[in-house]
Amino acid sequence: MKNKTAQKLLNKIENRTAVVGVIGLGYVGLPLAIEFARAGFSVTGFDLDEKKIRAVNAGRSYIKHIPPAAVQEISGREKCSATADFSILRKADCVVICVPTPLTSHQEPDMTYIEATVTVIARYLRAGQLIVLESTTYPGTTREIVRPPLEAKGLKAGKDFFLAFSPEREDPGNPTYSTSSIPKVVGGINPASLTVARALYDAIVPETIPVSSPDAAEATKLLENIYRSINIALVNELKVVFEKMGVDIWEVINAASSKPFGYTPFYPGPGLGGHCIPIDPFYLTWRAREFDTPTRFIQLAGEINTAMPERVVDRLASALNDEEKSLKGSRILLLGVAYKKDVDDMRESPALRLIELLQERGAEVEYHDPYVPALPRTRKYRYHLKSVSLTPSRIRKADAVLIATEHTAVNYSLVGENASLIVDTRNAMASLGRVKARVVRA
């Protein structure tokens, strides 16, 4: 390689003397820090949350699907530490950015976390460093938002320091795939940046997939999640159509899944959750407007998925009406508030919107979730609710049980034997066969 600075960094990565800094120790950053430490790198995690910093340094996990032993393993070897002192970025050879990219109240990209992080990195940037953005964003972010502040003091990307984008592919709670088993897409600002970024990730993943630019890597992540968003919207719409026809959408999906080619099953639900699917498509929609290009499929899918919580509540109200009860004043027991089964992740959970709608219509809401002891504060919601125990008496007192998340730890047999009405958005009761409760799918 002609670039001596790049070759020096490559040598450090190959002999594991490179220091890796991970900014943001959440669902993406923490597992990434663990894998770099396991690969033999010295890792420093950066975060503003003192609770996370104390937990990492004490060898404790604060994310359900990451076992405490994994954090103990790396902190015990003194390979990984956490801090809020960003001046230590000077010591890092490779800096990976894993900060949130939410939407504003107007459904536009909120780039404040990336911008603030890049401003701090620029303050301590030195020659020979690799900077990689992992936060999901629109095509052009690495070039237009990240690069200029880093070059403001005279260092040039691709020559004096190296810049790349490699989208995160975390799936919290997935028992089959984790950080170390998922290929990484990598796009560098130039060939030298691509080479060093691939070398870094080659140390922890089975394969790196090079693309021509950061823009292509940014677009890859959006395609992955838009694909899911549109297909989930499709089955959500079909659920409504088939319901009116007296056809069971779940039976249809299971039957279609027997086809060994040309079909991938997606499942309906009470709305979208997680940090990716409810948010990422709107990043491309916003960006496309700059090019006077409509994104009709994406926008329609967003409308369908966003409307699902309202439809669930309407279905619940109708089911109560059949029993000569009003939603107003009814006691609703919500089962599951995490955005998907068997995780403690509350990001963009549709359960939060369900609670809001139920309370607006006068219902009394309790919830049970074995992984979420209390509802956290979010940018939009400030609930003061704690998980209640799931007892026969509490189930019997509820006018309706609403299943929003199908955690496997929940005793659905107990629910079926004691509830009078169950509104099931996840097909959780199907495997039990006949139960005493009246079960309505929504």
Q: Give the Cα separation of 129 and 164 in Å (integer).
A: 11
In the set 80, 94, 98, 276, the catalytic residue is: 276
What angle (nearest 5°) sits at the alpha carbon of residue 344, between those of residues 425 and 113? 110
Active site residue 94: no
Task: Match 């690799």 to its residue by tokens.
Answer: 130
Q: Which residues contact 397 (CB under 8 A, 6 or more apart)?
A: 331
Q: Could you tell me if 349 and 376 are in contact, meaning their C-beta atoms sit under 8 angstroms apart?
A: no
DSSP element (H, E) containing 289: helix 280-289
CA distances from 324 to 318, 320, 361 (A): 10, 6, 16
Angle at 407 between CA 298 and CA 231, to 5 degrees: 20
- What is d(CA 309, CA 273) in angstroms, rounded to the nearest whole number? 11
Query: Which stretches does DSSP call E strand in 8-161?
Result: 19-23, 42-46, 80-83, 94-97, 130-133
Active-site positions read 276
